[in-house]
Amino acid sequence: MTSSPSAQLLDAAMARALELARAAGESGEVPVGAVVLSPEGTVLAEAANAREAEHDPTAHAEIRALRAAGAAW
């Protein structure tokens, strides 16, 4: 059985997502960032919105992070 990530790990992941969002906003994207954690709290992937840069309406931070996590898993 796995345990849930600690509040400290979740806070760190949220802080990182906010950093990614801030950077996305500064580069002209919608300011959204995403971090995907394993059940144990290991970072599997992270991403920021890249719809404008990639000219791809599906390049949302959440989608990009989930794709990267799937490839890493």
Active site members: 62
Classify residue 31 as exposed, middle or buried by CB count within 10 Å of its CB (0-12, 13-18, 19+): middle
CA distances in angstroms from 55 to 28, 49, 52, 58, 59, listed in the order given: 12, 11, 5, 9, 8
